[in-house]
């Protein structure tokens, strides 16, 4: 990050901020916790997508029937008949 860049027009120049080890540690901890939360969420979504994909494939091959597609069609038809 270039700290020597000129400020944008209309914005005051603040200059360098004083180093505060406690604040740096706090923000580093918050960043790490947020990263962990986002990763857990992403892995949970990936796991659910994998399970749905496996179920779709199982129904398609074993039962010659796609339960996910049929459910989606039923929901779509339900909304269409209400209007």
Is the pLDDT reported for residue 48 higher than 90?
A: yes
**Residue 83: its pLDDT value, please?**
47
Q: Read off the pTM.
A: 0.47
By the 8 A CB rule, do 56 and 66 touch?
Answer: yes
Is the pLDDT reported for residue 55 higher than 60?
A: yes
Count Cβ atoms within 10 A of the Cβ of residue 16 and give its class: 0-12 exposed, 13-18 middle, 19 or more buried.
Answer: exposed
By the 8 A CB rule, do 70 and 56 touch?
Answer: no
DSSP character string of 5-20: SPPPTT-----PPPP-
- Nearest Cα residue to 65 out of 77, 74, 54, 57: 57
């Amino acid at each position: 990050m270039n700290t020597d860049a000129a400020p944008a027009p209309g914005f005051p120049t603040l200059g360098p901020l004083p180093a505060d080890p406690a604040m740096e540690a706090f923000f580093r901890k918050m960043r790490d916790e947020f990263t962990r939360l986002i990763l857990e969420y992403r892995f949970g979504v990936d796991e659910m997508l994998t399970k749905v994909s496996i179920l779709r494939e199982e129904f398609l091959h074993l039962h010659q029937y796609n339960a996910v597609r049929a459910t989606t069609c039923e929901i779509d038809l339900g909304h269409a008949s209400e209007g």
